[in-house]
Amino acid sequence: MADQGLTLVQKQAQRIAMEQQRLLGQMLEKNDAEMAEFIDNKVSEIQALEKKSDEDGEEPQNEMGAELRDDRKPDSDAGGDDDAGEEWFRYLASNRSRDDEYIEPTVVGEKTLQDFLHDQLGELELDETQQMIAQAIVGNIADDGYLRRSVAEIADDVTFNDGYMVSADQVEEMLHTVQSLDPPGIAARDIRECLLLQLRRKTQTEDVKLAIKMVDSHFDDMASRRFDTLSRKMGVSKERLEEVFNNQIRRGLNAKPGNAFSSRAEMSLQVTPDFDVELDEESGRLTVTLRNNIPALQVSESYELMNERYREGKALSVQEAKEKKRIVDAYQRASMFLEVLRQRQETLFNTMSAIVKCQRDYFMSGNERDLKPLGQQQIADMIGKDVTVVSRAVNNKYVQMPWGVKALKSFFSEDINGASRHEVYDDLKRLIENEDKKHPLSDDALCEQLKAMGYRLERRTVAKYREALKIPSSPIRRKMAK
């Protein structure tokens, strides 16, 4: 019996640990705007969890991420003098009050929606024909994010205008690739497809699966909000369907994914950075700040008191036992959520700090040629986490620096014969800028010239880098010169 009890406790501990890891993965993938909605949903869902009011008066404790400092002496490659005890990085608490400074969204460069999509395509292993099809698809995406032309029409465009013989099936295949890019829902051909693309990227909870079924199989009834009819057809209560529609579809999806790009002189992507990195030029010290845009949370005082009372272990009636289970479960869920939120903040901060350590030269100069080859596994080893954790932590996150805003993903690049990808980009651009415009260099010729400069690259890699720089292929450059 004792062994059975121990096994039960171990299984329960494993289940809780797995749930914590799943929740942490969900939180790491979200940026500040997504976290705000996620936290609002959790506060509604977990009865024992609540936001701290301004009247509480006390500063949040460490479990909510109070100010943490790394007072260790900096490594020789981390910058600054060697005075012990002086902070290197600082980490602001994951709380906010009415006195906090409001942070306006920052314009990241002057990128159009098409630029943003082309950047992502440049990171994919596509051959020349696939790249040409993908560019044609992106070029036909409207400002609201929808694809207005049919795959057959795009196939004709690529065949007759660009000289690549392609079929509608090839365009359809590449369309799926474009639809996998950010923002979610991009390149949809109608509102139904747009919503489905977004829902299928979400964690597949029971509510999300129900939302997918509603959109996929009963779109007209859902769009007209005929919940009585939906309830009969789907065998689900009207109340449940209304709740899923409001939480997962109406408030959870964007019917016009291209609207993330606001129109000024030209379309510009706006983001709210998650981090600040500041440079003290006198001491050469770099300061990393994780912005405190997450509201302070706590376990409800009433649940704290009731949970404490139930720990006394006195005999309970059947009704009291049920109430105890409800209280204890809610208390444990709230406590676990606060702990995972603390882990999220700590992991994000440690990831950004490790990136700054590795890319210190860049953060000192702002010159992209100072970016070193860096892989996510290297950061994972530094912070003692799995590489999948780092991948989630850097996804869709941005850092504000004195010279602008940069995506965390952009600090990673493969090592090419001891050089970073950014150095190869610079040399590739220079070769194309200096080429004979009437006889532009093919990807094969560019590959040979880069090899002569010491880079061991394949032709398809050169083509990928050229596309990442938004430079057309040699036939198109020749046409442009004419």
Q: How would you write 346-375 as a 3-class SS string? A: HHHHHHHHHHHHHCHHHHHHCCHHHCCCEC
145-175: per-residue pLDDT in tens? 899 889 999 998 888 877 788 999 999 999 9
Average pLDDT, the chain: 78
> 172 - beta bridge partners?
none
Q: What is the pLDDT of residue 56?
A: 52
416-451: per-residue pLDDT in tens? 665 667 778 888 888 998 898 888 999 989 988 888
Closest CA to 131 of 481, 478, 477, 460: 460
Phi/psi for 286 (5° steps) reads: -105, 135
Q: What is the pLDDT of residue 482?
A: 67
In this prediction the pTM is: 0.51
- With tokens 């030269």, the residue in question is 361
Q: What is the pLDDT of residue 419?
A: 60
Q: Give 206-267 as a DSSP string.
A: HHHHHHHHHHHH-HHHHHTT-HHHHHHHHTS-HHHHHHHIIIIIITT--S-GGGGEEESSSE
324-382: per-residue pLDDT in tens? 778 888 888 888 899 999 999 999 999 999 999 999 988 988 887 788 888 888 899 99
Q: Taking 60 as the threshold, does the pLDDT of residue 103 lie above it? A: no
Q: Taking 80 as the threshold, does the pLDDT of residue 105 lie above it? A: no
Q: Taking 60 as the threshold, does the pLDDT of residue 315 lie above it? A: yes
Q: Which residue has the higher pLDDT, 390 or 269?
A: 390
Q: What is the pLDDT of residue 189?
A: 93
Q: For the chain, which residues make up each domain, given as ranges?
A: 2-99+274-401, 191-253, 421-481
Q: pLDDT class for 51, splitting at 50, 70, 90?
A: confident
Q: Taking 90 as the threshold, does the pLDDT of residue 241 lie above it? A: yes
The alpha carbon of residue 220 and the mean position of all alpha carbons in its chain are separated, in whole angstroms, by 32
Q: Taking 90 as the threshold, does the pLDDT of residue 299 lie above it? A: no
Residue 120 neighbours by CB under 8 Å, 6+ apart: 181, 182
- The CATH topology of domain 421-481 is Arc Repressor Mutant, subunit A (1.10.10)
186-238: per-residue pLDDT in tens? 999 999 999 999 999 888 899 999 999 999 999 888 988 899 999 999 999 99
Structure tokens at 205: 């909870």
Q: Taking 50 as the threshold, does the pLDDT of residue 479 lie above it? A: yes
107-145: per-residue pLDDT in tens? 544 467 887 888 888 878 888 899 889 989 998 998 888
Closest CA to 393 of 7, 134, 50, 29: 29
Q: Give 124-166 as a DSSP string.
A: S---HHHHHHHHHHHHTB-TTSBB-S-HHHHHHHHHHHH----
Q: pLDDT class for 316, splitting at 50, 70, 90?
A: low
11-45: per-residue pLDDT in tens? 767 777 788 888 888 888 887 777 888 888 888 88
Residue 91 neighbours by CB under 8 Å, 6+ apart: 65, 67, 68, 69, 288, 289, 290, 345, 346, 349
474, 459 Cβ separation under 8 angstroms: no
